[in-house]
């Protein structure tokens, strides 16, 4: 079996595969670029079974790399470029990556990593002398990527996604939202997120066009939507809020906005309805290779707040704390099953056993099914903070704040924000006799955590509210921070 790009190149050689900035590549041209990258990777010693970390912004070279690794039988470890060097070091060490690909934009951060047993390769400095790589027979059960995802406790967990997971996800998405030969899918989500990565592989499977953007800039998005006749775009609610607030005019070619990454408020959906904007709220997670449920615009406008029915091949149950299915309308944990469910968390059998039970994915998300079988999300994981589409788990931020010598304890929660969905907030208890300005604590945190994880609100308190068993009452902390009392 050939890899998907090679097969699609034979089927649609002159179709446009990729557009980035002022450049575009047909499937034939993209395949040629990928061949060169595969040769260069092979020339420096990367072989089947290796894992290659990518510290790259959205760029054409990232797309080349994704397909080149598929040809070589090498797994991708996409790294969030917003993380600090210490956070990146941990993920590289955890996955055992011996290779890191960076770009001129991320070269400085890469240079600050612990280089022991790590070869750093820049896209600008590939050796021009290359050898013909050992192209591996394509195996759909092979590991495609280890995508790090946030939880509520401990370190990030690396979801292991196979090509089979991506295939079934792409097919299920196509059955729900449709795919057309002339589709152009604008990807402004980062490729280190499963939402961005899945677009690259889906479009290759469909034989359609990826319109890639590096980041989210309103002016560039508007220009690209119209100039490239974009038909599909994936956004998080924060992005759509900004577009609507900025008076964005959508082109007639646009047939669908997939809206995910965080809960879509009914108000946002109703706003789209008034403007006749075709929005489809979707529920997904890295552990299920992106989409799980998606509601089409007509039904979204009829049921603002719902994410609709599970996609084809997948099923969703809502269960109570004993694992018993809940009746319609009753809250419980969302449990997903189907061929898109990950094979597990890399190097973390304990977390895998807790999350995947009898082949089903226990998401930790709270929701309910209505009488029609449509899914409604109440809360994305009990303590997880979703800010601007980025996941932040409180335990990590708390650990950093408590490393400061003046801090005795900290509790981090998410509080509602009209644009970001949630913002990170912290209640902090200082050690006896300590005096710590908020600015000093923030400076300490910025050296250790990515920008989106930083508390936007800090309140110093004498003690954290606790239950009788000594656990921090997070809801009480949240209420305290919201009220300001």
- pLDDT score recorded for residue 152: 43
Cβ(291)–Cβ(282) below 8 Å: yes
Q: Which two tokens stand for residue 149?
A: 């995802």
Token representation of residue 236: 């998080």
Please indicate whether the domains covering 4-378 and 385-483 agree at the CATH topology level.
Answer: no
| 123 in Cβ contact with 103 (< 8 Å) | yes
| Separation between Cα atoms, residue 273 and residue 227, nearest integer Å | 25
What pLDDT was estimated at residue 128? 57
pTM of the model: 0.85
Decide: helix, strand or coil at residue 410: strand
- Are 297 and 373 within 8 A, CB to CB? no
For 4-378, CATH number out of 3.40.50.920, 3.40.50.12780, 3.40.50.2300, 3.30.70.20 equals 3.40.50.12780
Helical (H) or strand (E) element with 415 = strand 407-417
The H-or-E segment that residue 356 falls in is strand 356-357
3-state class of 209 per DSSP?
strand
**Helix, coil or strand: residue 189:** coil
Average confidence (pLDDT) per 10 residues, the chain, 485 residues: 93 97 96 92 90 97 97 96 92 95 94 86 72 76 92 75 98 97 96 96 98 94 97 92 92 96 83 96 95 96 95 96 93 95 96 95 93 87 80 84 92 89 94 92 93 94 75 85 80
Domain ranges of the chain: 4-378, 385-483
Tokens 């970390």 locate to 53
Helices (H), 151-213: 163-177, 194-206
| Assigned token pair, 17 | 């595969």
Taking alpha carbons only, the member of 405, 447, 448, 445 closest to residue 425 is 445
Question: Contact 363/375 with Cβ under 8 angstroms?
Answer: no
3-state SS assignment for residue 395: helix
Provide the residue count of the chain: 485
- Position 24 scores a pLDDT of 97
The CATH number, out of the four listed (2.40.50.1020, 3.40.718.10, 3.30.420.40, 3.30.300.30), of the domain defined by the range 385-483: 3.30.300.30
Distance CA 416, CA 481 (A): 11
DSSP character for 234?
E
**Degrees (nearest 5) of the Cα angle 166, 167, 173?**
85
199 DSSP 8-state letter: H
Distance CA 99, CA 383 (A): 34
Q: What are phi and psi of 298, to 5 degrees?
A: -60, -45
Question: Are 291 and 338 contacting, i.e. CB atoms less than 8 angstroms apart?
Answer: no
Q: Which residues contact 75 (CB under 8 A, 6 or more apart)?
A: 50, 51, 52, 69, 142, 143, 144, 145, 146
């Amino acid at each position: 079996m050939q890899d998907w790009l090679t097969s699609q190149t034979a089927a649609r050689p002159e179709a446009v595969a990729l557009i980035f900035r002022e450049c575009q590549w047909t499937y034939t041209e993209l395949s040629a670029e990928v061949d060169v990258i595969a040769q260069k990777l092979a020339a420096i010693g990367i072989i089947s079974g290796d894992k290659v970390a990518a510290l790259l912004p959205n760029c054409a070279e990232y797309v080349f790399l994704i397909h080149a690794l598929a040809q070589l039988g090498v797994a991708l470890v996409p790294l969030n470029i917003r993380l600090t060097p210490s956070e990146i070091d941990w993920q590289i060490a955890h996955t055992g990556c011996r290779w890191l690909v960076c770009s001129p934009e991320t070269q400085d951060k890469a240079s600050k990593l612990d280089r022991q047993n790590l070869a750093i390769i820049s896209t600008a400095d590939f050796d021009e002398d290359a050898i013909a790589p050992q192209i591996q027979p394509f195996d759909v059960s092979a590991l495609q990527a280890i995508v790090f995802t946030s939880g509520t406790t401990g370190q990030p967990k690396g979801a292991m996604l196979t090509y089979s997971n991506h295939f079934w996800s792409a097919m299920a998405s196509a059955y729900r939202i449709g795919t057309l030969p002339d589709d152009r899918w604008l990807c402004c989500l980062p490729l280190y997120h499963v939402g961005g990565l899945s677009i690259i592989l889906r479009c290759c499977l469909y034989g359609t066009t990826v319109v890639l953007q590096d980041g989210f800039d309103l002016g560039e998005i508007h220009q690209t939507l119209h100039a490239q006749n974009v038909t599909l775009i994936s956004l998080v609610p924060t992005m759509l809020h900004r577009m609507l607030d900025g008076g964005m005019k959508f082109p007639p070619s646009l047939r669908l906005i997939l809206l995910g990454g965080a809960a879509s408020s009914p108000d946002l959906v109703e706003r789209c309805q008034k403007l006749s904007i075709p929005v489809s709220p979707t529920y997904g997670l890295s552990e299920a290779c992106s989409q799980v449920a998606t509601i089409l615009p007509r039904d979204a406008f009829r049921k603002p707040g719902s994410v609709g029915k599970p996609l084809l091949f997948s099923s969703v149950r809502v269960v109570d704390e004993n694992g018993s299915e809940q009746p319609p309308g009753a809250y419980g944990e969302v449990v997903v099953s189907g061929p898109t469910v990950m094979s597990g968390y890399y190097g973390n059998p304990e977390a895998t056993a807790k999350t995947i039970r009898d082949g089903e994915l226990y998401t930790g998300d709270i929701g309910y099914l209505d009488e029609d079988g449509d899914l409604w999300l109440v809360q994305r994981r009990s303590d997880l903070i979703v800010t601007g589409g980025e996941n932040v788990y409180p335990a990590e931020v708390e650990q950093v704040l408590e490393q400061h010598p003046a801090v005795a304890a900290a509790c981090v929660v998410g509080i509602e924000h009209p644009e970001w969905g949630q913002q990170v907030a912290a209640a902090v208890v200082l050690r006896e006799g300590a005096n710590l300005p908020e600015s000093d604590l923030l400076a300490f945190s910025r050296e250790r955590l990515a920008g989106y994880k930083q508390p936007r609100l800090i309140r110093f308190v004498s003690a954290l509210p606790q239950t009788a068993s000594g656990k921090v009452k997070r809801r009480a902390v949240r209420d305290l921070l919201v009220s300001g009392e």
